[in-house]
Chain A
């Protein structure tokens, strides 16, 4: 994230065009100045130099058309065009794994050292199992110390069978044998974890070709680090030329890299990015969304992911129940606590803030430490109340407050604050009830 020089592209473009306000229509020169900002943003996001050059030239043609010239907000207009083009370039729609062809199906994971192949193999196993398939992990990395152990441990954790490799066996043999044992283990999808290698290492690249010839995989996925810089084009090109890959998995997307490598890789290989790795847990693998990636590369946040996250975590049943009670103005302290727990499930507040466009870049917010302990405190306080108190907060007078404070390890002041906040929320609820619940979405409260 261009920490030093760049704020969000949107702001910078606005600044460029603001200078031109009152000068009548935009000229070609004005547009060029705006495009310079686009170019800088893309380079800072690690999109390859040549890819940027071509992209900006393409954009210029469109931007020179009427739509920008006559727009009152040319900055926004330029962004819109850039965003659309980026999204299109990165592939219009979601592409899934290719599992067709011979049985059992094989998926080969290839890439540089440290790009995250082994972890991704574990994550794909979880994903495939959810799709009703029977994955079989195949450790084919005989070079890195303990790489086989690592996949074995992941297999153990997940309860997914692992082929008993050992570093003495040739990787091609490992893969061949694994195809036969997969049958015995009643598995239908092999996940082949190959050793990390440099794309210029001819010997090891040849080994990958040999594995490919031996197992005829239905999909070959290049596992690439989202933080990769300008070299992404060389890496992707070499792997694609050698193996004709079927797609890409972009890992470590949970950091703050803008991920321009996605665009570079896509433009040199023309292969789809199929998944992104978004965390340390084995369930942290998500389908790739070109539109979201575009916003991220441009430094415009990721609102959609946040919304989706909220949707998957909020328990539908509870939400409906809550809605009913809210309608009857029966929002208790227990509901208050449950809401809090649900919000916390979405991740840390600071992470959520980073997903909101522009927010991550605001200096004041950067240093803002949302005190997650505050939530723990509130939970503790409510847990220290009796059921009656939770349902009827007006019961909680002086001596009860003292008792609750003692029980939850807080002060009476904390109890006072909580009750104040709670009554405010209840008041707000009543107002909303008059206006209609639907606006609240899936039972999330606007805390």
Chain B
């Protein structure tokens, strides 16, 4: 469902920005594939002017659940819709009602991350294995470089084989410096050195990559805390942002991930990756509302520029 949004987004931007044609073409190509797979759409639900009855609500339920919205959120949404069923007579009104409800869930934002008084902006990137942390860092680096910032990447995933090599290639693509140690060295030390290097070289942004870990592994979560402490030791107000990367393909377990990472580290933002497939990533709605963590970025492809800043109003406008 998220894809409807990109398409609308496209229409807005396409006219004005010449240089982005390549990007939007790619996006469009991805979208047309996605469209074929999407079987239901809210407009289909209302083909032939249907009334809001049990059958229709069940179809709506299917639509919401198959987007990974989760049983509870789906039930809540449906309940509030069926309460208003006398006022709703068509697709437009149903959409409007749903939009309002989902927007309310998405918009519970935590206060902005800490203000920076001295030194660089430090973003620590965390998440379970294979969600796309390294790739997200590569894309973030490119984004900051494009806006004229000097970026340093700290390769603190010292565990996974060739993680540093992978990150080094992204750093090269984005044209930024990378601080690295040997494989299996202490990740906290790498992070510390990264901050030190950034201070010495006058960098504006430090991106700290960490090894993927399952949120249920106590000792590995402790390691993350240690990395965070090491960063604060060098720069007391850092890290300014703890960015949790979630995979849109993940189902209800994303909530457990967000909860446990948040308990350990106080997550300040979420990046939702792999939205260029057929998964809708609906679980972020529950995560944003229950944990009050804002969704900040979405990943929509493999290219370096395929990371977008998230805008909830646009998202919901297009969600349905």
Chain A residues with a Cβ under 8 A of chain B: 1-5, 40, 43-46, 48-50, 112-116, 143-147, 149-154, 157, 198-202, 225, 227-232, 234-235, 252, 254-258, 260-261, 280, 348, 350, 354
Contacts and interface: CB of A to CB of B under 8 A. Distances in A.
Nearest to A6: B71
Given A200-B34, A227-B247, A258-B252, 4 more contacts: A48-B66, A150-B165, A154-B161, A255-B253
A163 to B, nearest CB: 16
Nearest to A47: B251
Given A200-B277, A227-B128, A234-B37, A256 B216 contact: yes
Given A145-B165, A200-B277, A255 B128 contact: yes
Contact of A145 (B66, B159, B166, B256): B166
Contact of A231 (B68, B161, B165, B218): B68
B250 interface: yes
Contacts of A116: 129-130
A43 B62 CA distance: 11
Nearest to A2: B252
B251 A150 contact: no
B218 A198 contact: no
Q: Quick one: which of B130, B159, B165, B253 has the most chain A CB within 10 A?
A: B253
A50 B61 CA distance: 11
A45 B251 CA distance: 8
Chain A interface, DSSP helix/strand/loop, else mixed: loop
B71 A5 contact: yes
A234 B39 CA distance: 11
A261 B62 CA distance: 17
Contacts of B253: 1, 46, 227, 255-258
Contacts of B215: 255-256
Interface residues of B, number: 54
A152 B283 CA distance: 36
Nearest to A198: B277
Given A3-B255, A227-B253, A112 B277 contact: yes
Contact of B131 (A3, A114, A280): A114
Contact of B162 (A146, A202, A228, A258): A146
Interface string B274-312: 101111100100000010000000000010000000000
Nearest to B67: A230
B214 interface: yes
Given A225-B130, A230-B66, A199 B277 contact: yes
B10 interface: no
A152 B159 CA distance: 15
B161 A113 contact: no
Contacts of B169: 145-146
Contacts of B255: 3-4
Contacts of A228: 249-251
Interface in B62-88: 62, 65-68, 70-72
B105 to A, nearest CB: 14
Contacts of A350: 218
A355 B290 CA distance: 27
Those 10 A-B pairs whose CB atoms lie nearest each other, nearest first: A229-B251, A114-B130, A46-B251, A145-B169, A150-B162, A146-B165, A153-B161, A231-B279, A146-B166, A149-B162
7 contacts: A48-B66, A112-B277, A113-B274, A145-B165, A154-B161, A225-B250, A232-B251
A116 B131 CA distance: 10
A49 B66 contact: yes
